[in-house]
């Protein structure tokens, strides 16, 4: 039998906790036998003294096993999951799901709803009339086997320890601890049942991790945790100092995904999706050569197979696939207002977090868990860092259902863009790839 104050004292002195001590704390907190105030003290001790890789892996596994463990063994083939640490205009999953499955990757994905400035994949898909994200286990597995792809909301019984610990971290100023972040993310991925995992670790003004070095530490730790837990894991360090795509919202991100699958999408978004999808093909042992994998993916887009797969996924989950051809079938905002450049020049910088928060405040996101999403509203951006603008040219468009919010959002969006008279270099999207063999800077 363990004594909680002794465990807190041990970590306070920077000593290593055993697997049994960590399991005792996690299980006791979930069953209510260990109170908030003691776990808060331990979280603060971890925040200041850290955890080594073995401790973090043990914490991850204890959290993963605190609730339901999803069994995907009934799905034929190697299952590869992708997780993003969150960003602005991150429409990756909407493109990646049909793109990867169109070339034979089995994608059975559990996704969450948005909270704060980062959008939720489930919210985006539910802007499609009739689309159903709440699938039971049998329907989820049947869809993955029959059409190669399925997406569902996260089970309420999945990793209850993470929900409880995250809520406590949020009110005790212990959110930004790399071991605690890593265990939170990886516990959900491991409980989700995938055989192999791709992580998109974003850094920059619009991301949780603000600088490259911290993103590298987090990515490296999660790759090691995945390996120790028996799940091959690959992490990418990607840019979020500006929005990834051009759409920040829900129905408009469905439009951007459709445009990307038609071969007309934003280059940054497309390049990231091609990299992830080709990596999924290699991990799933569908293709051994990355260049050949990318060629097959481009061919799938050119032949319309990727778009056809997206329609199939939508129809299979109760939605109207015609939205991908007729965008007027999606929710449409009452008001639109374009934001124009004050001068000739080049886009020097975009405050991604400001745009994300602005979009959230006009209704595209949630400030509180019980807020209702407005699927029609959001922000289109027409220019990214390095793009040329002329005075009076529109560089963004606001979509809103409230006229006052429309004009407020236009001013906020204008302030989020900084211009230069001198040419500015474009930002690269992928900075590094981390595998079990180490960091490969790109």
Instruction: Name the CATH architecture for the domain at 332-420.
Output: Alpha-Beta Complex (3.90)
| Spatial distance between the Cα atoms of 77 and 80, rounded to a whole number of angstroms | 10
Mean pLDDT for the chain overall: 94
| Spatial distance between the Cα atoms of 333 and 251, rounded to a whole number of angstroms | 10
Confidence of residue 374 (pLDDT cuts 50, 70, 90): very high
Q: Spelled out in words, what is the top-level CATH class assigned to the domain 80-324?
A: alpha beta
Enter the tokens of residue 258: 């459709």
Confidence of residue 368 (pLDDT cuts 50, 70, 90): confident
pLDDT of 182: 95
pLDDT of 119: 65
Over range 298-308, report the average pLDDT. Answer: 98
Residues with active-site annotation: 83, 162, 169, 184, 188
pLDDT of 112: 72
Q: Is the pTM of this model over 0.85?
A: yes
Q: Which of 67, 54, 23, 48 is nearest to 172 (CA)?
A: 48
Confidence of residue 136 (pLDDT cuts 50, 70, 90): confident
The answer to whether the CB of 277 falls within 8 A of the CB of 96 is yes
12 Cβ partners below 8 Å, 6+ apart? 45, 49
Residue 154, pLDDT > 80, answer no
Over range 96-124, report the average pLDDT. Answer: 84
Which regions of the chain carry the CATH code 1.20.970.10?
4-50
Residue 114, pLDDT > 90, answer no
Residue 249, pLDDT > 70, answer yes
| Spatial distance between the Cα atoms of 417 and 396, rounded to a whole number of angstroms | 10
Which regions of the chain carry the CATH code 3.90.1170.30?
332-420
| Spatial distance between the Cα atoms of 335 and 374, rounded to a whole number of angstroms | 13
Residue 369, pLDDT > 90, answer no
222 Cβ partners below 8 Å, 6+ apart? 182, 185, 186, 199, 201, 233, 235
Query: DSSP assignment, residue 381?
Result: E
Residue 57, pLDDT > 80, answer yes
CATH code for the domain defined by 4-50: 1.20.970.10
User: Bridge-partner residues for 110, per DSSP?
Assistant: 152
Enter the tokens of residue 334: 């009452």
Which regions of the chain carry the CATH code 3.40.1030.10?
80-324
Over range 196-219, report the average pLDDT. Answer: 94
pLDDT of 115: 55
pLDDT in tens, 37-53: 999 999 999 999 999 99
pLDDT of 125: 94
Percent of the chain whose pLDDT exceeds 70: 98
Beta strands in 173-277 (DSSP E): 196-203, 232-239, 247-249
Over range 93-108, report the average pLDDT. Answer: 96
Confidence of residue 1 (pLDDT cuts 50, 70, 90): confident
């Amino acid at each position: 039998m363990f004594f909680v104050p002794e465990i807190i004292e041990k970590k306070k002195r920077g000593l290593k906790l055993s697997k049994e001590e960590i399991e005792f704390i996690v299980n006791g907190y979930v069953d209510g036998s260990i109170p908030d105030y003691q776990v808060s003290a331990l979280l603060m001790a971890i925040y200041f003294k850290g955890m080594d890789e073995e401790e973090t892996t043990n914490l991850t596994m204890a959290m993963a096993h605190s609730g339901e463990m999803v069994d995907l063994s009934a799905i034929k083939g190697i299952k590869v999951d992708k997780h993003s640490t969150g960003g602005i205009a991150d429409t990756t999953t909407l493109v990646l799901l049909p793109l990867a499955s169109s070339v034979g990757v089995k994608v059975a994905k559990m996704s969450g709803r948005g909270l704060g400035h980062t959008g939720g994949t489930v919210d985006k898909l539910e802007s499609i009339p009739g689309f159903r994200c709440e699938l039971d286990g049998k329907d989820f597995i049947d869809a993955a086997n029959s059409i190669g792809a399925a997406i569902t909301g996260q089970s309420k019984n999945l990793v209850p320890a993470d929900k409880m610990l995250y809520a406590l971290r949020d009110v005790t100023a212990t959110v930004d601890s790399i071991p605690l972040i890593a265990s939170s993310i990886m516990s959900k991925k491991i409980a989700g049942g995938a055989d192999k995992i791709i992580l998109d670790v974003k850094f920059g003004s619009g991301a949780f991790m603000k600088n490259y070095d911290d993103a590298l530490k987090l990515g490296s730790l999660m790759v090691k945790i995945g390996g120790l837990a028996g799940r091959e894991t690959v992490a990418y360090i990607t840019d979020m100092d500006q929005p990834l795509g051009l759409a920040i919202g829900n129905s408009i991100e469905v439009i951007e995904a459709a445009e990307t699958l038609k071969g007309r999408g934003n280059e940054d978004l497309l390049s990231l999706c091609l990299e992830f999808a080709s990596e999924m093909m290699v991990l799933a042992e569908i293709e051994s050569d990355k260049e050949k994998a990318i060629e097959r993916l481009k061919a799938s887009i050119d032949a319309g197979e990727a778009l056809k797969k997206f329609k199939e996924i939508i129809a299979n989950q109760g939605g109207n696939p015609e939205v991908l051809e007729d965008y007027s079938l999606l929710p449409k905002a009452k008001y639109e207002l374009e934001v124009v450049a004050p001068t000739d020049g080049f886009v020097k910088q975009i405050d991604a977090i400001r745009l994300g928060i602005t979009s959230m405040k006009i209704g595209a996101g949630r400030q509180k868990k019980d807020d209702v999403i407005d699927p029609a509203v959001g922000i289109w951006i027409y220019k990214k860092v390095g793009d040329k603008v002329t005075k009076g040219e529109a560089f963004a468009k606001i979509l809103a259902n409230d006229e006052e919010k429309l004009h407020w959002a236009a001013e906020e969006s204008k302030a989020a863009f900084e211009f230069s008279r001198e040419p500015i270099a474009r930002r690269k999207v992928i900075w590094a790839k981390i595998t079990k063999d180490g960091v490969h800077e790109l």
